[in-house]
């Protein structure tokens, strides 16, 4: 049996609560700082070319799980346990220098809000090119030419002109396509998409999802799709893992989960999906 590309094993992430005490007496009887568990013993696998949907309400731990894979959990959060095996290596055990070579080059992240993720004072072409030059994959001239190709690949019209635009000159849908172009620049094996369509209107959402599906097939990407929307999961994912209060409560093929959800929380999420009834 082929080993999975990504194997998350018993991942636990906690956030330290409160400010550090001034004296040991303020730590309480056990002398330990109180913590809040954001991700609780989470395990899942993802194969090359597969799409896994991670679904749950806001605050369920989806994004923290994604940031943990890349070791980007913001303080006061910290990874308290588990392993993240990617392409045969435990990312949680890598030196930071080696981890920087993984981020962006082997695993890319598409953020939820491109206007805050993109640099507002850099041309979009330069931001795409930077992803290549930082990892030493192209000369500045080659990177600029590749930026035009990537904008064309994500269906931005007149890419040769648009490569000189700043983020504020683009629509929300185009900015999200630029984020996708940056994520694909180094031809990663895994792309993590964190709520990639939340900030877009319905028509643009459909276009972005079609684009992700097309690029996944073209580049044989593994895609970890994080969303609260079961409609997106039904359209995009091969398998789905349902998160509730930091834990995965149900996992399986999408059709199986949609037709016969086993957990009460999954049934509640599905019941919240708008539908067209006789009224």
197 close to 113: Cβ distance less than 8 angstroms: no
Q: Which pLDDT score is estimated for 24?
A: 45
pLDDT in tens, 126-135: 999 999 999 9
* For residues 237-245, average pLDDT: 95
Rounded to 5 degrees, what are φ and ψ at 9? -120, 115
Kindly indicate the confidence band of residue 146, based on its pLDDT and cuts at 50, 70 and 90. very high
**% residues pLDDT > 90 (the chain):** 67
Residue 256 confidence class, pLDDT cut points 50, 70, 90: very high
For strands 6-16 and 77-86, give the pairing: antiparallel
User: Which of 154, 163, 209, 220 has its CA nearest to residue 187?
Assistant: 220
Residue 230's pLDDT is 87
Check residue 104 and give left, alpha or beta (phi > 0: left; psi -120 to 50: alpha).
left
More confident residue, 177 or 276: 177
Q: Contact 144/125 with Cβ under 8 angstroms?
A: yes
Rounded mean pLDDT of 50-54?
95
Mean pLDDT of 25-29: 43
Mean pLDDT, residues 57-72 = 93
Query: Among 106, 117, 268, which Cα is nearest to 191's?
Result: 106
Is 80 exceeded by the pLDDT of residue 26? no
- For 224-242, what is the mean pLDDT? 92
**If pLDDT is split at 50, 70 and 90, which confidence band does 240 have?**
very high
Instruction: For residue 235, give every residue at least 6 positions away whose Cβ sits within 8 Å of its Cβ, in sequence order, or none.
Output: 209
Taking residues 260-275, report their average pLDDT.
Answer: 86
């Amino acid at each position: 049996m082929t080993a999975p590309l990504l194997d998350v094993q018993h991942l636990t992430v906690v956030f330290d609560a409160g400010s550090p005490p001034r004296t040991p007496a303020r730590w309480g009887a056990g002398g330990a700082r109180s913590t809040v568990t954001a991700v609780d013993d989470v395990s899942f696998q993802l194969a090359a070319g597969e799409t896994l949907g991670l679904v749950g309400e806001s605050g369920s731990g989806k994004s923290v799980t994604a940031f943990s894979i890349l070791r980007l959990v913001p303080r006061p959060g910290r990874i308290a346990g588990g392993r993240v095996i990617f392409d045969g290596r435990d990312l949680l055990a890598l030196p930071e220098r080696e981890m920087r070579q993984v981020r962006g080059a082997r695993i890319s992240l598409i953020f939820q809000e491109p206007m805050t993720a993109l640099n507002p004072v850099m041309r979009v072409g330069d931001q795409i090119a930077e992803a290549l030059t930082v990892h030493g994959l192209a000369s500045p001239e080659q990177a600029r030419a590749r930026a035009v190709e990537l904008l064309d690949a994500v269906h931005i019209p007149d890419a040769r002109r648009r490569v000189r635009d700043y983020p504020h000159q683009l629509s929300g849908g185009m900015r999200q396509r630029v984020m996708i172009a940056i994520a694909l620049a180094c031809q990663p094996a895994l792309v993590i998409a964190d709520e990639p369509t939340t900030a877009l209107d319905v028509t643009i959402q459909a276009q972005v999802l079609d684009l992700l599906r097309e690029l996944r097939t073209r580049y044989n990407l593994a895609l970890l799709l994080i969303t609260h929307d079961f409609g997106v999961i039904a359209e995009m994912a091969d398998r789905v893992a349902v998160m509730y209060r930091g834990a995965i409560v149900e996992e399986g093929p999408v059709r199986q989960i949609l037709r016969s959800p086993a957990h009460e929380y999954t049934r509640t999420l599905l019941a919240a999906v708008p539908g067209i009834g006789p009224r």
